[in-house]
Chains A and B, each alone.
Chain A
Amino acid sequence: MIKCVIWDIDNTLLAGTYLEAASQPPPPDQGLLAVARELDGRGIVHALASKNPAEAADYVARATGLPFAAAECGWGRKSEAIGRIIGDLGLAADAVAFVDDDMLERAEVAAALPEVLVLTPEDAAEAVSWPVFSPAVITAEGRRRGQMYAQRRRRQEEARAFGGSRDDFLRDAGTEVLIAPAGPADLPRLHELSVRTHQFNTGTEPVTQDRLAAALADDDQRLTAVWLRDRFGDDGLVGGALTEPGWTVSRLVMSCRALGRGVLDALLAALCQQAAAGGAAELRVPCLITDRNVPLRLALAAAGFRAPASAAAPADPGQPVLFTRRLDGPLPVLPDWATVRERP
């Protein structure tokens, strides 16, 4: 499934060449603009990679009205620009499409990044009907995804200019994390997170809406959801945890959009506090070890979770490793910008 389309500018998103225009730069290509708007509505984000001055990206953003999650303008290799965008947005290469009218640019990217879907503008014009551009579930959060990445760019620019610690910046940004029991309306988004999230996901299989609904109906299971917003924007529902009897968190997910904003630390702290209040001696989080979810393991380590030493040898990659957090000592501290609402 494609999550991000990276567009060339000249003779692709623009109906002409930016730098060759005598006075007014060329207008957007109306056909591709309609495609881009449709994909934006499906939760697919857009980015720019162009051999142009940085002003070209600002012009394209104004002329198209599209929210761009990232823009790389310069005269280096396109594959390197795309590599930076992929890294910056926390995407996998196979979740990215690249559209360029220039055959040599397409060939260079296809050779350097074989997992990227490389398209001509003509291909892209038909992309709306392709299955890889048609996610099965489109939630409210999904539809606003492009906008949220644009807000993220502004947040990151301010964070870079900010002098203090991460926590100082999160406070300055007016960060609010709400951790509360999920309701029926939250199930499509929680299912979507279980499918789309790789860096912060303790499993790899989708958690079906039926499974989530069963958890809601069962008093012995807890389905927790996490919402995030700050003065840059409202990210909506960004994470969740399914806690089964015996204080075992059978699935923990968080959107990579929330990376670096203290959300997972807050959720782990809240889960530990709930388990301790429920009389548990430890909280258990079975977690598949993948090469993509290292950030999740960092959050588990930071919150004091441990895996058995015997698991340190390369375990069966299909089997989860059980991380546990003892609850008899000091508990992880809930950051002051997080609020926990218990179930009624």
Chain B
Amino acid sequence: MTSDEVLSQLRSILAGVTARPEVAAIAPETALFGPEVGLDSLTGTLLLVEVQQRFGVDVAAEDLNLDSLATLATLADFIISQITSHA
């Protein structure tokens, strides 16, 4: 799976969990906990469930600090690294 494919799937997941279509157009460096996406405990949990179902990556188990949720790009990189290391 390419980085662009992961980014595009994450954008659609984020737009879904936040119920805000405009989130589908965010730039890779957008902070997920910042005002544009406004990830919180509820939407963050939904995001992690979706990521686990689509990519088979359990972010909460692999990343104690949830650093991977800093930006859209860091999350995509983390997912790709996990898929590659388990391939």
Contacts and interface: CB of A to CB of B under 8 A. Distances in A.
A307 B66 CA distance: 10
A307 B60 CA distance: 13
Nearest to B63: A312
Interface stretch (A120-128, A227-235, A241-249, A293-301): A293-301
B66 A297 contact: yes
Interface string B54-75: 0000001001111101000000
Contacts, number: 62
A311 interface: yes
A297 B40 CA distance: 10
B41 interface: yes
A291 B49 CA distance: 12
A298 B20 contact: no
B12 interface: no
B64 A259 contact: no
Contact of B64 (A262, A295, A302, A311): A311
B40 A166 contact: yes
A23 interface: no
Interface in A262-278: 262, 264-265
Interface in A292-344: 294-299, 301-302, 306-307, 309, 311-312, 321
A302 B60 contact: no
B60 to A, nearest CB: 5
Contacts of B48: 294, 298
Contact of B38 (A165, A289, A298, A311): A165
Nearest to B66: A301
Interface of A: 159-160, 164-167, 200, 259-260, 262, 264-265, 289, 294-299, 301-302, 306-307, 309, 311-312, 321
18 contacts: A165-B18, A165-B20, A165-B38, A166-B38, A260-B43, A262-B40, A297-B66, A298-B41, A298-B44, A298-B45, A298-B69, A299-B40, A299-B41, A301-B66, A302-B40, A302-B44, A309-B65, A321-B64
Given A309-B65, A312-B65, 20 more contacts: A159-B19, A160-B19, A165-B20, A166-B40, A167-B38, A260-B42, A264-B41, A294-B48, A294-B60, A295-B41, A295-B42, A295-B45, A298-B40, A298-B48, A299-B41, A302-B40, A302-B41, A302-B44, A306-B65, A307-B65
Interface of B: 18-20, 33, 38-45, 48, 60, 63-67, 69
